[in-house]
Amino acid sequence: MHRVSSRLRILHPRGYATATTRPPLSGLSANARERAEKLSAGWKGTSATGGNTKLFIGGEFVESKTSNWIDLADPATQTLLTHVPDSTIEEFDQAVAAASEAFKTWSKSSVLTRQRFALELQRLLRENSDAIATSIVLEQGKTFADAQGDLLRGLQVVETATGIPTALLGNHIEVSKDMDTSTRRLPLGVCASIAPFNFPAMIPLWSIPMALTTGNTLILKPSERDPGAAMIIAELCQKAGIPPGVLNVVHGTVPIVNAICDNPKIKAISFVGGDRAGKHIYERGRATGKRVQANLGAKNHAVIMPDANKNHALNSLIGAAFGAAGQRCMAISVAVLVGNAQSWIPDLVERAKQLKVNQGFEQGTDLGPVISPAAKDRINGLIGSVHEEGGKILLDGRNYEVPGYPEGNWVGPTVVEATTTMRAYREEIFGPVLVVISADTLDDAISIINENRYGNGTAIFTQSGATARKFEVEVEVGQIGVNVPIPVPLPMFSWSGNKASFLGDIPFYGRNGVDFYTQNKTTTTLWKSEDAIGNKASVDMPTHH
Ligand code: NAD
């Protein structure tokens, strides 16, 4: 078996395990071990006990024939959980062939059949939420409660997709006497979804229900760092009644992603991940005429006004900055403290200190490890850069130790005071690090945010409606919270991150999601009323006039 970790380290700046991976089960607590064993025994596509993650092609969970395998280690203990295949091009081609074949019938299936699939899937996801959350805790590291939230936010997309018959209603109008024009919304064909590591359930579920209920077939490439949740979801899709080939899962890295971009049978790509991969996929996918929606990186600012409810503002800030160890694209990574709110910094630091960092199944854990030793090194480097560039480290999470877990990728909650020219402000850190910036006025705070290249999310904490309204109108960010820290819209709305946080024309889920996965066909018909058969017969003697 050939391991590809060293090559992957070059491809992925956030990186893979550099610490020695421990044998299966050896480093897990009794609780985690029991859960890992149950997971491996209960599901066809994933392993948490050192087996191989399977491919899902044409309705079968199959072993990859690749010679390149990626070791996936639990980020709290470095225990080997599974080997993830870097799929071969032949396997990828099989998945495309299966999806193309399935499209012929699935695209013609009744919308009620597809609605029933969504209804059944939502029931099965609820019933199996513990298994999915367990896989996420083991592979990704977030807490069990947070992993349940990861699934729930995806489940809400499934629930919205159960309304697909209404969402697919077309238009019809009589444009002239006896002439009608109507549109129908039709699927595109085989689509692909490429997902990041930080929401292993939610992000595959941004695509699966939308693509499938609109009549498309899908090839999903989950993150190679935590594909377990996607494999369980695939099995549940099968149980929910989709025919073979409607959903396929392939694993891998750059070669498979490039094959997705280049394959002419694939009509659309949904990508969520970092800037580098996203820009590459957007350009390469567009070059072959595909629709591409690409959600990218972020730097989300929360403005704290001096009139804010202090307790609510600080608690919201702490939760949004450090939850999921800061590995959320909507995490608040910058706090802009306006005027007297700057005097709350010691309190902010004190509250951040109270958070408990531990393995995700341990009781009372607020945040787990970061995804990999390389990610930890990168985050630590960015914390260090604050000092080097003249800023202040107010709370330092480097060298954080968790009793009983000496090898985890731990970074404790960190608060730094910086300016907008420093690296820690300019780069996406994607770790539990809150950058604090000071501003004299609301106008200054808005200027800081508008000058930032990203536009994923922002929030303001204030008791003044006028202040909030001015902020909402003037700030150039696509998703805004007023006294709400992580303003991710529910899926009756669509994702609306903007600026450098999005590439493409049509965003994820909601009405836009239906638009992304469909194309309109417009027909104009003329059926003259005088040609209708069954008109009253004439009984007069024909005169041939
Ligand atoms: P990533 O870009 O490293 O990986 C995302 C996907 O792209 C993976 O499936 C990976 O295999 C593939 N990939 C990685 N590098 C590639 C390359 N060079 N060429 C082709 N494919 C490549 O992202 P990640 O580290 O898994 O996720 C974290 C990033 O995702 C953060 O930047 C975060 O802000 C972003 N994100 C954005 C949103 C959003 O909605 N805006 C949501 C979640 C995560």
Is the shortest distance between the CB of 221 and ligand 1 below 6 Å?
A: yes
CA pair distance 298, 416, nearest whole angstrom: 18
Residues 343-391 pLDDT 10s: 999 999 999 999 999 999 999 999 999 999 999 999 999 999 999 999 9
Using alpha carbons, select from 115, 103, 208 the residue that is nearest to residue 168: 115
- Provide the pLDDT for residue 153: 98
Beta strand 190-194 pairing with 518-526: unpaired
Q: Is the CB of 280 under 6 A from ligand 1?
A: yes
Q: Is the CB of 14 under 6 A from ligand 1?
A: yes
Closest to 282 (Cα-Cα) out of 256, 254, 261: 261
Q: What is the pLDDT of residues 238-272, one digit of tens each?
A: 999 999 999 999 999 999 999 999 999 999 999 99
**Which pair of tokens denotes residue 507?**
């965003």
Phi, psi of 63 (to 5 degrees): -80, 135
CA-nearest residue for atom 26, ligand 1, is 196
The Cα–Cα gap between 92 and 94 comes to 5
CA atoms within 13 A on the CB side of 515: 12
The confidence band for 545, taking pLDDT boundaries of 50, 70 and 90, is low
Residue 508 CA to ligand 1 center (angstroms) comes to 16
Q: Looking at the predicted structure, is the pLDDT value of residue 275 above 50?
A: yes
Report the DSSP beta bridge partners of residue 303. 336, 460
Return d(Cα 7, Cα 4) in angstroms, integer: 5
For residue 303, pLDDT over 50 is answered with: yes
CA 97/CA 89 separation, integer angstroms: 12
Q: CA-CA distance, 60 to 238, in Å (whole number)?
A: 10
Tell me the DSSP string of 420-489. TTSHHHHS---SSEEEEEEESSHHHHHHHHHHSSEES-EEEE-S-HHHHHHHHHH---SSEEES-SS-PP
> What residue owns the CA closest to ligand 1's atom 36?
273
Best substitution site from 296, 456, 493, 495 to test ligand 1's pocket, by max atoms within 8 Å of Cβ? 296
Long-range contacts from 452-455, C-beta under 8 angstroms, 24+ separation: 452/299, 452/301, 452/420, 453/499, 453/500, 454/297, 454/298, 454/299, 454/300, 454/428, 454/499, 454/500, 454/501, 455/497, 455/498, 455/499, 455/500, 455/501, 455/502
Active site residue 329: yes
With a 6 A CB cut-off, is 167 part of the ligand 1 pocket? no
CB distance 213 to ligand 1 below 6 Å:
no
Q: What's the confidence (pLDDT) of residue 228?
A: 98
Rg over CA atoms, the chain: 26
**Element of type H or E holding 299:** none
Highest mean pLDDT among 5-14, 374-383, 531-540: 374-383
DSSP state of 130: H
Does residue 74 surpass a pLDDT of 90? Answer: yes
Any atom of ligand 1 within 6 Å of the Cβ of 140:
no
How far does residue 285's CA lie from ligand 1's centre (Å)? Answer: 16
Q: What is the rounded (10 degree) CA torsion for 139, 503, 458, 354?
A: 20
The encoded tokens of residue 413 equal: 């909650």
Q: Which residue's alpha carbon is at the smallest distance from atom 2 of ligand 1?
A: 274
Q: Is the CB of 378 under 6 A from ligand 1?
A: no
3-state helix, strand, coil split of the chain in percent (to 5) is: 40, 20, 40
Establish whether residue 223 lines the binding site of ligand 1, counting it when its CB lies within 6 angstroms of any ligand atom: yes
Instruction: Tell how far the Cα of 16 is from the centroid of ligand 1, in angstroms.
Output: 14
Burial of 423 (0-12, 13-18, 19+ CB in 10 A): middle
Whether pLDDT at 10 is above 80: no
pLDDT of 6 higher than 60: no
Cβ proximity of 495 and 340 under 8 Å: no
Mutate to test the pocket of ligand 1, among 258, 300, 329 (most ligand atoms within 8 A of CB): 329
Cα–Cα–Cα angle for 142, 317, 198, nearest 5°? 25
